[in-house]
Amino acid sequence: MALTDLLDLPPAGALLGLDPGTKTIGIAVSDGARIAATPVETIRRSKFKTDASRVFELYDDRQCVGIVLGLPINMDGSSGPRAQSVRAFAANLMGFRDVPLCFWDERLSTVAVERTLLEADTRRSRRREVIDKMAAAYILQGALDRLKS
C-alpha cells in the first residue's frame, strides 16, 4: 500500500502514531474506533533495523492498520533538513515492511506538549522521559480529529 493520504488510510482499525527525532522515536496508538490517541513508549534510536523491528512489533501487537508519521514542516510551510530526514525514515520504514503510511504536519507539537507538562508541574526529568511519546499522541490525535470531521 505504501505512502498514502490521511483520508485514504483503511477506514477502521487502530493507527500507530510516530514522532521520529534524531535520538528517539515517540510512539502512540489509537483505539480501534479512532477516538483517542494514547502514548505508548519512546524508543531510543539505535540501528534502523532494530528500531523498525520494535515499531512493527508494536504495530502488530496493537493490531494497527496504518501509521501516521509526524512531519516537521517549517512555520512558513517549507520543508527543511528535518522533514527530509523524516521522509527518508518513512521510505526506509516502507522498505522494511509495506503498510499504509501517511504524514501529518507536526508543527509545534513538542511545544504544545511541553507547555501542557509544565502546566501540570511535571518535573524536568519526567518531562524528558515522556515528551516524545506524548508528542506522538498529540500528532496522532490531530490526525484522528481530522478524520472525524
Picking from 74, 71, 75, the residue whose alpha carbon sits closest to that of residue 89 is 71
Total-model pTM: 0.86
Q: Give domain status of residue 132, yes or no.
A: yes
Picking from 103, 74, 72, 98, the residue whose alpha carbon sits closest to that of residue 7 is 103
**pLDDT tens track for 34-75:** 999 999 999 999 999 999 999 999 999 999 999 999 998 877
Q: Give domain status of residue 1, yes or no.
A: no
Q: Give domain status of residue 92, yes or no.
A: yes
Q: Give domain status of residue 19, yes or no.
A: yes
Q: Give domain status of residue 109, yes or no.
A: yes
Three-class secondary structure of residue 45 per DSSP: coil
Say if CB 99 and CB 59 are below 8 A apart: yes
Say if CB 43 and CB 58 are below 8 A apart: no
| Domain hosting residue 28, numbered range | 6-148
Task: Detail the DSSP E strand segments found in 31-107.
Answer: 37-44, 64-71, 101-105
Read off the CATH number of the domain in which 15 is found: 3.30.420.140
Q: Give domain status of residue 127, yes or no.
A: yes
What tens-digit pLDDT sequence spans the chain (149 residues)? Answer: 466 788 889 999 999 999 998 899 999 999 999 999 999 999 999 999 999 999 999 999 999 999 999 998 877 777 788 889 999 999 999 999 999 999 988 866 666 656 665 666 666 665 565 668 888 998 999 999 999 88
Q: Give domain status of residue 34, yes or no.
A: yes
How many structural domains are present in the chain? Answer: 1
